[in-house]
Amino acid sequence: MKGSIATLGNGSVIAVYIRQKKFRSKPHNILILNLAVSDLGISIFGYPFCTASGYAGYWLFGDTVCQLYAFMCYTLSMSSLNTLVVIAGFRYISLCHPQYAYRLTHHVTAFSLIGVWVYSLLWTVPPLVGWSSYTYELFGTSCSIKWTVENTSEMSYVVGSCLFCYLLHLLLLGFFYYKHGILGIFHYTVNDHDKFIGNDFFSQMCFLMVILFMVAWTPYTVSSFWSVLVEEIPLAAATYPTMFAKSSCVFNPIIYAIAHKK
């Protein structure tokens, strides 16, 4: 069910972007498109394989597909989180340093998206070539990074992932939206009302997407780091965070739909 909702929802967002020129004219909407593409990829690559394997009680598709599945899901999830950081950065520049807002052109946005995907691949390709690895998750119906560590190399990758693929993003997002909120309070005037309302609503929409993404992925990050500290974690602590994390791609289309009505 969640996979169908995510596929239809994100597919609809992409269709709206392609069909309506006014959406293509704004650089920040390209970032929203990238977010929808990443979420659509998760719903296409993530849900069918783990759902079928979940019904069977074991991974159905062999080691090669396991590697590809884990790589794709990790890359697309990283792309989503990186894109949320870029969106927050764009909003921060627009409000806190408006004298530079004119530089946020389509070309800058395109280079930012290249950075989004390159940074994602910098962390998702290494497990394919020997720095850690992709393997079956504890409950055996899905695949991901090998979070249980057996040597220094695996330890360094897991710690690096937690620091530079989650905590760093969390700090940047917190900084951007904190600054945005402070300036939104103290720099608001009556003459700015109409412009402020439009900008503020878009910022609120982006902030909500960030909150929901963090709500979805924080339990998974905690359980992953937990597995580094102990030899074995409870099955429920490995199963439910993984299932909940993939639901993040369902949230954003719902937020888009509400925003579009506004």
Q: For the segment 9-66, what is each residue's pLDDT rounded down to a tens digit? A: 888 888 888 887 777 777 778 898 999 999 899 888 888 898 899 889 889 999 999 9
More confidently predicted of 68 and 192 = 68
Mean pLDDT of the chain: 82
More confidently predicted of 6 and 168 = 168
Largest Cα span, the chain: 62
- Asked if pLDDT for residue 83 goes beyond 90, the answer is yes
Q: pTM for the complete prediction? A: 0.85
By percentage, how much of the chain surpasses pLDDT 70? 85
Give me the pLDDT at residue 73, please.
92
Q: Which residues of 196-207 are buried (b: 16+ CB within 10 A; e: fewer)?
A: beebeebbebbb
Could you tell me which residues come within 8 angstroms of residue 139 by beta carbon, excluding any fewer than 6 positions away? 235, 238, 239, 242
Q: Domains, the chain, ranges and CATH?
A: 2-261 (1.20.1070.10)
CB 75 within 8 A of CB 123: no
Q: For the segment 175-211, what is each residue's pLDDT rounded down to a tens digit? A: 988 877 655 544 444 444 444 444 556 667 777 877 8
Assign 136 to helix, strand or coil.
strand
Q: For the segment 144-163, what is each residue's pLDDT rounded down to a tens digit? A: 988 888 888 888 998 899 89
Q: Of 14, 135, 126, 129, give the one whose Cα is nearest residue 65.
A: 135
Distance from C-alpha of 22 to C-alpha of 165, rounded to nearest angstrom: 33
Compute the average pLDDT of residues 109-135. Answer: 96
Give me the pLDDT at residue 257, please.
66
Give me the pLDDT at residue 69, please.
94
**How are beta strands 143-145 and 134-136 bridged, if at all?**
antiparallel
